[in-house]
């Protein structure tokens, strides 16, 4: 896995981690151990940590293939958004909105047909989908593990395959 963290430099910090079970790199990917606190580009391969001479090639930016979902969004109930209670998401595809509605019995807010799909509450005044805000993964994970404590915070995070 290769990630780029926004560290204030032009390309960010490039970190490449190989999945080698039972080693430092495998434990990092499984959130059992922390990412080493290092500056500059580096890779973790098994138990070896090596600096990279240069940043690896950034992944290609994918072309936006979003669809116009404004008609579907306009049919949803308007929700007065409370940032402490609600999560907002921009819909990209008609099928995304249609499937969320189907998962609640065909109406919004409706009744979820599965406990594994978060309930769509409606739309915000600026046309985003509104959901109930749940605990974030990092907040939840912190209750069980200290693995996330040294991960760099960033405004940009890109991940690619190996």
pLDDT tens, residue by residue, 31-56: 999 988 888 899 999 999 999 987 77
Asked if the model's pLDDT at residue 148 lies above 50, the reply is no
Q: Are 151 and 102 in contact (CB under 8 A)?
A: no
DSSP 54-98: SPPPPPPPPPP-----HHHHHTSPB----TTTEEEE----HHHHH
* Strand-pair category, 48-51 with 2-5: unpaired
Is the whole model's pTM more than 0.75, yes or no?
no
Which residues pair with residue 43 across a beta bridge? 16, 50
pLDDT over 70, % of the chain:
83
- 3 state DSSP class of 51: strand
Asked if the model's pLDDT at residue 117 lies above 90, the reply is no
CA neighbor of 154 nearest in space, from 4, 14, 44, 30: 4
Q: What is the pLDDT of residues 78-103, one digit of tens each?
A: 999 999 999 999 999 999 999 999 98
Residue for token pair 């600096």: 51
pLDDT over 90, % of the chain:
48
Residues whose CB falls within 8 Å of the CB of residue 111, separated by 6 or more in sequence, listed in order: 104, 105
Q: Are 52 and 41 in contact (CB under 8 A)?
A: yes
Instruction: Write out the two tokens for 117.
Output: 């799909």
Domain layout of the chain by residue ranges: 2-60, 70-132
pLDDT bucket at 57, cuts 50 / 70 / 90: confident
Instruction: Write out the two tokens for 24.
Output: 């430092």
The pLDDT, as a whole number, for residue 4 is 83
């Amino acid at each position: 896995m290769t990630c780029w963290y926004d560290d204030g430099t032009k390309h960010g910090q490039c970190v490449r981690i190989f999945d080698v079970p039972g080693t430092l790199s495998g434990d990092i990917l499984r959130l059992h151990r922390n990412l080493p606190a290092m500056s500059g580009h580096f890779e973790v391969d098994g138990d070896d940590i090596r600096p990279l001479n240069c940043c690896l090639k950034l992944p290609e930016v994918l072309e936006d293939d979003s669809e116009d979902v404004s008609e579907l969004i306009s049919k949803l109930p308007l929700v007065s958004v409370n940032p402490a209670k609600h999560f907002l998401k921009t819909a990209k595809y008609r099928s995304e909105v249609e499937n969320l509605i189907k998962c609640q019995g065909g109406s919004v807010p409706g009744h979820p047909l599965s406990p594994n799909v978060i309930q769509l509450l409606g739309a915000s005044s600026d046309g985003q989908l509104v959901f109930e805000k749940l605990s974030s993964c990092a907040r939840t994970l912190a209750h069980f593990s200290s693995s996330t404590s040294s991960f760099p915070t960033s405004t940009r995070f890109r991940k690619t395959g190996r």
